[in-house]
Amino acid sequence: MDLLNTLVDKGLRREPPTRDEALAVLATSDDDVLDVVAAAGRVRRHWFGRRVKLNYLVNLKSGLCPEDCSYCSQRLGSTAGILKYTWLKPEQASQAAAAGLAGGAKRVCLVASGRGPTDRDVARVSDTIKAIKEQNEGVEVCACLGLLSDGQAERLRDAGADAYNHNLNTSEGTYEQITTTHTYADRVDTVRKAHGAGLSACSGLIAGMGESDADLVDVVFALRELDPDSVPVNFLIPFEGTPLAKEWNLTPQRCLRILAMVRFVCPDAEVRIAGGREVHLRTLQPLALHLANSLFLGDYLTSEGQAGKADLEMIADAGFEVEGTGEVTLPPHRVTAGGCGTSPAATSSAGCASSSSTESVSGPGVPAAGEGASDGASAGPGCGPCGGHGGTTGQDAPAVPATRTAPPAADEAGSTGAPKARTDLVAVRRRGAGTDVAPNA
Ligand code: SF4
């Protein structure tokens, strides 16, 4: 297919597809899905070899959020039966993180519900970061605390945070249909603050909320502009008790097309399969490893994931390998001196947003197609199942939660050809952080 050959060539040059080309990937038929995976897989292997980075979520504070993000089980007015608890103590968080690290994760993602942290919260999380780093040499820590005020990103960086996650989630044009208590611009501002403080920016999306192909392309191109190092791709987990509970819009093949599109648009960024992979990709999860080079190990913030052991077996069976703490995640040209995943050899930064159709992709430090990447130091959740946060306290919480006017939802039996609702695959997390039950990492 000419389209795919063109996109592979562009991906190897870090050149973005056109908007029409990105839309065309999403419009390919199920008959072509293996061709799409094979093509995007070439780009993935060129920049990341067969390595899979594992990330581990620790929900520091669960539920009770004043924000109204429609997709979120922790939102204002949610009746989902999730765990609700306030801040874990640093030693509790460190203990939770240790389970994921023992399971093979190299990054810990510290997430807290809420619009954004107070300065006291930042101090609390700083203590947690220090506790984790003291006990786990080489670990990367990403914070995901919502909208940041001036100076907070710098404080987190100084405490040892490597990265900050804040997802755009959906397109600017549809953002207010998903959330009313903060804006798309608020989110962009926080990603920029993280970037500006020298943190490795992590920002992604949620697919399956009733958006159009154009919305998906819009948000992914917007992410490319922001140039995050990591792009978590969430597939909506339609929690009962949230406004999007009936939004069963995804098939496994559609998820693969979305991941392929993200890979073509952000060829050299860490593309992470985030929340919802078990629910929507189901038995096709191994194919997604040919597109994404990163995933979350074990459970999510409020829902259960596949057991960590099953994740590791899947990775090995599919012919991939878990990335070690001694390996740098990002290609050398993306690694900034002093930043997350710093490689001694790296001296420049040309991010996802950088493009150069004339640039050579071969040379020192650039992995050859099909090979593993460079050696060096360590590098860097889409704290994705949450999807992101919004900024202050609950003072301005809305009287009326956001609602979304969505396309027709899938019917339970799938008799209209729409994807089947798989509520049987959605399980509220009852183990790990905030409980006395061991996690599944
Ligand atoms: S996504 Fe974050 S800010 Fe939005 S409702 Fe959930 S916890 Fe609150």
340 carries an active-site annotation: no
Residue 352 assigned as binding residue: no
Looking at the predicted structure, is the pLDDT value of residue 354 above 50?
A: no
Is residue 347, in this structure, part of any structural domain at all?
no
Count the domains in the chain. 1
What percent of the chain has pLDDT above 70? 81
pLDDT of 184 reads 98
Which one of 42, 44, 51, 72 is the catalytic residue? Answer: 72
Is residue 421, in this structure, part of any structural domain at all?
no
Residues 180-216 have pLDDT tens digits of 999 999 999 999 999 999 999 999 999 999 999 999 9
Is residue 367, in this structure, part of any structural domain at all?
no
Buried/exposed code over 370-397 (b: 16+ C-beta within 10 A; e: otherwise): eeebbebbbbbbbbbbbbbbbbbeeeee
Is residue 146, in this structure, part of any structural domain at all?
yes
Ligand 1 pocket at CB < 6 A: 65, 67, 69, 72, 74-75, 113, 115, 146, 386-390
386 carries an active-site annotation: no
Task: Report if pTM > 0.75.
Answer: yes
Q: Distance, CA 173 to ligand 1 centroid (Å)?
A: 19
Is residue 360, in this structure, part of any structural domain at all?
no
SS3 210: coil
- Sequential DSSP letters for 4-35: HHHHHHHHHTTPPPPHHHHHHHHH--GGGHHH
Residue 57 CB-half CA count within 13 A: 35
What gap in Å lies between CA 288 and CA 117, rounded to an integer? 34
Q: Distance, CA 22 to ligand 1 centroid (Å)?
A: 29
Domain hosting residue 242, numbered range: 2-335+382-394
pLDDT of 336 reads 59
Residue 245 is encoded by which pair of tokens? 């509970």
CATH number assigned to the domain comprising residue 152: 3.20.20.70
Is residue 280, in this structure, part of any structural domain at all?
yes
Count each helix (H run) and each strand (E run) in the chain, helices first.
Answer: 12, 10
Residue 69 assigned as binding residue: yes
Q: Distance, CA 112 to ligand 1 centroid (Å)?
A: 9
The pLDDT of 40-52, averaged and rounded, is 98
Q: Distance, CA 11 to ligand 1 centroid (Å)?
A: 33
Is residue 112, in this structure, part of any structural domain at all?
yes
Which one of 142, 266, 340, 352 is the catalytic residue? Answer: 142
Is residue 415, in this structure, part of any structural domain at all?
no
Residues 112-158 have pLDDT tens digits of 999 999 999 999 999 999 999 999 999 999 999 999 999 999 999 99
Q: Which residue has tokens 């392929």?
A: 260
Residue 44 assigned as binding residue: no
